């Protein structure tokens, strides 16, 4: 999986987000109408798609979509 495939999968999780909105350098907290529900969606996405358990600390330490991708990839390799 590369970053573009990751972004496409993630965009599919957000019903109100137009496709092509996210880029690797997008701060995911800048997603329009960002709320704690979006954070839960990302946690569920990582678990369902990659069998990776993201923590609140993981989300706090990640700023961009690239950061999220890197955290998930590193946990997949552990």
How sure is the predictor about 22, in pLDDT bands with cuts at 50, 70 and 90? very high
pLDDT of residue 33: 85
The total number of structural domains in the chain stands at 1
CA distance 1 to 61: 22
Within a domain: residue 72? yes
pLDDT of residue 17: 87
> What range does the domain containing 73 cover?
54-78
The yes-or-no verdict on residue 64 having pLDDT over 90 is yes
Digit-coded pLDDT (tens) for 44-55: 999 999 999 999
Taking the CB of residue 22, how many other CB atoms lie within 10 A of it? Answer: 21
Within a domain: residue 58? yes
CA distance 26 to 76: 22
Within a domain: residue 74? yes
Within a domain: residue 1? no
Within a domain: residue 45? no
Q: pTM of this prediction?
A: 0.91
Within a domain: residue 75? yes
Within a domain: residue 69? yes
């Amino acid at each position: 999986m590369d970053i573009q495939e990751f972004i496409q999968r993630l965009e599919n999780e957000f019903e109100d987000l137009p496709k092509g909105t996210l880029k690797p350098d997008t701060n995911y907290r800048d997603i329009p109408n960002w709320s704690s529900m979006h954070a839960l969606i990302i946690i569920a996405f990582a678990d369902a798609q990659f069998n990776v358990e993201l923590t609140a600390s993981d989300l706090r330490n990640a700023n961009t979509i690239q950061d999220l991708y890197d955290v998930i990839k590193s946990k997949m390799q552990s």
